[in-house]
A and B are shown apart, each in its own frame.
Chain A
Amino acid sequence: MTSKDNLRVRLAAASRTVRGRFGDSLFKSIAFLAATGIVVLMGLLVYKLYQTADLSIKEFGLGFLTSEEWDPVKDIYGAKPFIYGTIVSSLLALAMAVPLSLGIAIYLSQFAPRWLRSPLAFVVELLAAIPSVVYGLWGIFVLAPFLGQTIEPFFSDNLGFIPIFQGPVYGVGLFSAAVILAIMILPTISAISRESMLNVSLEQKEAAQALGATPWETVRMAVLPLARPGILGAIILGLGRALGETMAVTMVIGNRPEISASIFAPAYTIASVIANEFAEVTAGLHMSALVELALILLVITLLLNLLARLLVRKTGSRAGKGKRT
């Protein structure tokens, strides 16, 4: 066991001087404190939110999740429109971003000429570097008016008999928010899927090629099945990002706590209502209800992230054994 030998060498060296030993234990304690600091921080985060949300949890109970009324004047709060807006905008975004991201990941890891791969990957990842508020600004003044004048009228004129395309189009609304979200989560999903596709061993691909598979068949039969947990993890991480995204969504979703059948109607998300109302609220039930919304979002994103990390780690260790291609 080399690691045991390392340990013995290190221990012997460390005990050589008393001063060194003292310095070592001090340094180790400080580093230990920093590492446990992250654990404490997570605990404190959940505890503080729960503590502040307690008032609202006691007042509304489970009815908070199903009530549609959100009225600060009457001091009645229900979370349903926000939960609906958050989930629907994120799922719509996934529906648009996942096929594109997987196409990019496959192209960048399997098909593209070698010289093009890293520059192109770098450029796609630049999308992740643009701040959310800049997406929002572009969304308000460019994307939402564009969608409201072209794509949305097209769908409501031609496919208006389907309820999700019915009703007036404003530009701002659920659909615009979903398009912005899709652009924002694209780099996350494509980068992590690409990683897990690159982790598939060369032997697997060569085996498929030796059987006479075309490039696409190689991807479909050798690469995708082995990279599946990583891809799934990437999609879940993207979903987590979309659910919690605040600024860009707040700026284009219309901020109206209603549940309508049409995807072109204005809506509201958990993160947006917190962004809009939290700074003006002082204390009491209104704040507690907003914090309870934050707590709901936190629990959802915690669970999704936990799941995604476990999946991504699984591909890293399993398919990563072989040579990188």
Chain B
Amino acid sequence: MKNDLRRRSRKIKSGIAYFLCALSAILALIPLVLILGYVIFQGAAALNIDFLTQLPKPVGETGGGMGNAILGSLILIGIAAVLGLPVGVLAGVYLAEFRNPRLSWTVRLLADILSGVPSIIIGVFVYTLLVLTMKRFSAFAGGVSLAILMLPTVARTTEEMLRMVPDSLREAALALGIPRWRTIVSIVIKTAGGGIMTGIMLALARIAGETAPLLFTALNSRTWPTGLDKPVASLPVQIYTYAIAPYADWHEQAWAGSLVLVLMVLLLSVGSKLYFGRKMRSVK
């Protein structure tokens, strides 16, 4: 009788724990739904062709858009990709293919730590490194800070993807007398290509939404981009500027900008995940 009671209370306890865990999963979905809901509804209301193609209007005039900021963001991401991708992928290749235990251990740890450094600190770093020496804010400096931010992610995913390539492939290529570098470039990297691309797209998605490191490197601008050595507007910085300004129509534009930004980021990250998921299944 006593035993029975104890068993029942243990079962009830287990049921409560199950309920609480399921409840926390549901609770986590609430902010997601709310944020996406607000961004979609508020954003869609203010979104139009002008918003995507026009320059911002001066204070007091309505209309105008964030065309320059959208273009600026693409330019900044482009600079970051050109600088960050080769270094990141090659660093990943070194970690996976040339096994030098002590250096690899250090690089891996530092890459992991670097990915945890707050992005605003990378902005301060690039400011002291480039903006102070070139004596101007520039698209280039903004691109460099984004490149540094994507470097560890790209290096680590490249390494992990290359490690998944079976050694038998490498051995087969080497047995055919193909030099090692060609084996790596045209066989190992090619085999792991889908996974590496996924990592790259996730890294791009992350830097596309970064604001803090651009605040004092790329700064902001109310005109179309004119050169890599000039300040340039970007979507996240423009959203921030508009959100904290006291004008209602700027707030609407900030929501529209957020919708564009969220779509861009989700397209990159969700798209790459779905693509990679399909790829993995077809391998299996």
Contact = CB atoms under 8 A, between A and B. Distances in A.
Interface stretch (A56-64, A101-109, A161-169): A101-109
Contact of A133 (B91, B175, B236, B269): B236
A127 B28 contact: yes
Interface in A126-185: 126-127, 129-138, 140-142, 183
Contact of A103 (B21, B88, B114, B208): B21
Interface stretch (A22-30, A70-78, A201-209, A260-268): A22-30
B165 to A, nearest CB: 13
B266 interface: yes
Interface of A: 6, 9-10, 13-14, 16-17, 19-21, 23-24, 26-28, 30-39, 41-42, 44-45, 48-49, 51-52, 99-104, 106-108, 110-112, 120, 122-124, 126-127, 129-138, 140-142, 183, 186, 190, 214-217, 219, 237, 240-241, 243-247, 251, 271, 274-275, 278-279, 290-291, 294, 297-298, 301-302, 304-306, 308-309
A309 B112 contact: yes
B91 A37 contact: yes
> Which 5 residue pairs spanning A and B have beta carbons closest together?
A244-B118, A131-B209, A20-B179, A103-B24, A34-B90
Contact of B116 (A21, A52, A246, A301): A301
B98 A133 contact: no
24 contacts: A13-B175, A16-B177, A28-B94, A34-B90, A34-B91, A35-B103, A42-B110, A42-B113, A48-B129, A51-B128, A100-B24, A104-B21, A110-B21, A122-B273, A130-B35, A130-B262, A131-B261, A132-B210, A133-B236, A190-B28, A244-B119, A244-B120, A301-B116, A302-B116
Contact of B125 (A48, A244, A308): A48
A137 B254 contact: yes
A309 B94 contact: no
B45 interface: no
Contacts of B23: 103
Q: Is the interface of A mostly helix, strand, loop or mixed?
A: helix
Given A130-B35, A131-B209, A305-B112, 15 more contacts: A13-B177, A17-B179, A34-B87, A39-B106, A39-B107, A44-B125, A107-B25, A127-B32, A217-B14, A240-B116, A244-B120, A246-B120, A271-B120, A301-B121, A306-B113
Contacts of A108: 25
B229 interface: no
B128 A52 contact: yes
B180 A24 contact: yes
B70 to A, nearest CB: 14
Interface residues of B, number: 99
B28 A186 contact: yes
Contacts of B261: 131, 133-134
B177 A215 contact: no
Given A134-B262, A309-B113, A9 B91 contact: no
Given A35-B103, A41-B148, A302-B113, A13 B180 contact: yes
A44 B130 CA distance: 13
B22 A111 contact: yes
Contacts of B114: 38, 41-42
B161 interface: no
Nearest to B18: A111
A45 B115 CA distance: 13
Interface stretch (B55-63, B74-82, B166-174): B166-174
B39 to A, nearest CB: 6
Interface of B: 10-11, 13-14, 16-18, 20-25, 27-29, 31-32, 34-36, 38-39, 86-91, 93-95, 97-98, 103-104, 106-107, 109-114, 116-125, 127-129, 148, 151-152, 155, 167, 170-171, 174-175, 177-182, 184-185, 205, 208-212, 215-216, 219, 236, 239-240, 243-244, 251, 254-255, 258, 261-262, 265-266, 269-270, 273
Nearest to A131: B209
Given A112-B25, A243-B118, A306-B113, A127 B31 contact: yes
B182 to A, nearest CB: 7
Contacts, number: 289
Contact of B258 (A51, A134, A245): A134
Given A9-B175, A31-B94, A129 B269 contact: yes
Contact of A21 (B22, B121, B179): B179
Nearest to A237: B116
Nearest to A279: B216
A31 B121 contact: no
A180 B62 CA distance: 31
B32 A140 contact: no
A248 to B, nearest CB: 10
Contacts of A120: 25
Nearest to A106: B21
Q: Report which residue of A20, A110, A247, A306 has the largest number of chain B beta carbons within 10 angstroms of its beta carbon.
A: A247
A218 B184 CA distance: 46
Contacts of B113: 42, 302, 305-306, 309
Contacts of A99: 24
Nearest to B35: A138
Given A107-B22, A136-B243, A297 B179 contact: no
